[in-house]
Amino acid sequence: MKANDTRIHMHMSAMAMIAVVAVIAGAVPAFAQGAQGMAEPWQLGFQEAVTPVMRETDWFHNLLLVIIAAIVAFVTVLLAYVFWRFNENANPEPSRTTHHTLLEVAWTVIPVIILIVIAVPSFRLLYLQRDIPDADLTIKAIGSQWYWSYEYPDNGNISFDSVMVEDDELKPGQPRLLTVDENIVVPVNKVVRVIVTANDVIHAFAVPAFGIKIDAVPGRLNETWFKAEKTGVYYGQCSELCGLRHAYMPIAVEVVSQGEYEQWVAAKKAEASLRRDNGVRNVAGIAGPARRAAAPAD
């Protein structure tokens, strides 16, 4: 009876294992396709890298994954061997050895080598992120509770707010919690410097496909950069807990061709001069608090 129970138990464990493998196998194709610019159900790993920084980050992550997996496997095997070989039954008379020069040198030097192997690409990546190349375009991103405002100082100081589109206003195909009323528009294959700050509390400007995440701190200017190498819309979210509607201030970056970008700039400038003619001077300043007041309390 007991043996039978054990067999049923083992059978169930095997079934569970098969289920886990099936789930992982099912997730892998999704990972390979990767919906552009956003996370997707059952995704494994990162979003598809669209900038040099994110490509390097991906590579570094994969390197660490191999190293950490090898260390975990090694330690597990070592522990299992110790349990089996040196338990009281198998080894009633323990050895009195206390020092072993070769072993001690090895377990000092090998971890040092592993750390160097990690440190070199780590610093390379850090410098790639921090050394901002000559920018073709600068954008200022300002976080507020709970939306982002953007300014284009190189392009006639275009400025606008970018507010999340609520669920009941989404058009078909627009992703929930990521769609905004006005995307940031940037040209493809151009170095974009992003200057980041905040109006009220600390927010964080993050776009996973670009490999950027930087705090938006009131009274401080932080900067980062990206060079998107593929057109499309890439989404990010505020990544610093900033209050009630923290989860509802997404970031949407639309990467377009240079020609389309110039058209967009021209249209934005025309819109701004129209507003000036109508006597509305600071649209961002007026729209901000009004929108804040209009945001549903939840």
Cβ closer to Cu ion: 206 or 238?
Answer: 238
Instruction: State in angstroms the smallest separation of the CB of 203 from Cu ion.
Output: 3
Scanning residues 224 to 243, which ones bind Cu ion (CB under 5 A)? Answer: 238, 242
Other CB atoms within 10 Å distance of the CB of residue 189? 13
Residue 175: CB atoms within 10 A of its CB come to 17
- In the complex with Cu ion, the residue whose CB is nearer, 163 or 242, is 242
**Which residues ranging from 73 to 132 are in contact with Cu ion (CB under 5 A)?**
none
Smallest gap from Cβ 195 to Cu ion, in A, equals 17
Amino acid at 263: Q
Q: Is the Cβ–Cβ distance between 37 and 179 less than 8 Å?
A: no
Strand partners, 253: 184, 234
Supply φ then ψ for residue 78, to 5 degrees: -60, -45
Decide: 198 and 143 in contact? Cβ < 8 Å.
Answer: yes
For the CB of residue 72, give the shortest distance to Cu ion in the complex, in Å.
36
* Least spacing, CB of residue 236 vs Cu ion, in Å: 11
Q: Which is nearer to Cu ion, 196 or 256 (CB)?
A: 196
Token pair in block for residue 215: 């705090």
CB of 258 to Cu ion, least distance (A): 31
**For Cu ion, the closer CB: 118 or 295:** 295
Give helix 52-85 / helix 101-130 axis angle, nearest 10°. 160
Nearer of residues 163 and 256 to Cu ion, judged by Cβ: 163
Q: Which pairing describes strands 147-152 and 158-162: parallel, antiparallel, or unpaired?
A: antiparallel
Per the listing, tokens 């700039």 go with: 265
Between 52 and 218, CB nearer to Cu ion: 218
Q: What CA–CA distance (Å, rounded) separates 41 from 29?
A: 12
Cβ at position 270, least distance to Cu ion in Å: 31
CB nearer Cu ion, residue 137 or residue 253:
253
**How many other CB atoms are there within 10 angstroms of residue 208's CB atom?**
22
Q: State which of positions 168-207 bind Cu ion (CB under 5 A).
A: 203
Site for Cu ion in 242-281 (CB under 5 A): 242
Query: Quick one: 165 or 265, whose CB is closer to Cu ion?
Result: 165
# chain residues binding Cu ion, by CB under 5 A: 3
Closest CA to 196 of 253, 141, 241: 141
Least separation in angstroms between CB 286 and Cu ion? 21
Tokens coding 191: 């170095």
Q: Considering only CA atoms, which of 258, 114, 110, 132 is closest in space to residue 191? A: 132
Least distance CB 242 / Cu ion (angstroms)? 3
Beta bridge partners of 193: 138, 225
| Residue among 176, 186, 238 at smallest CA distance from 207 | 238
Provide the binding-site residues for Cu ion, judged by CB under 5 A.
203, 238, 242
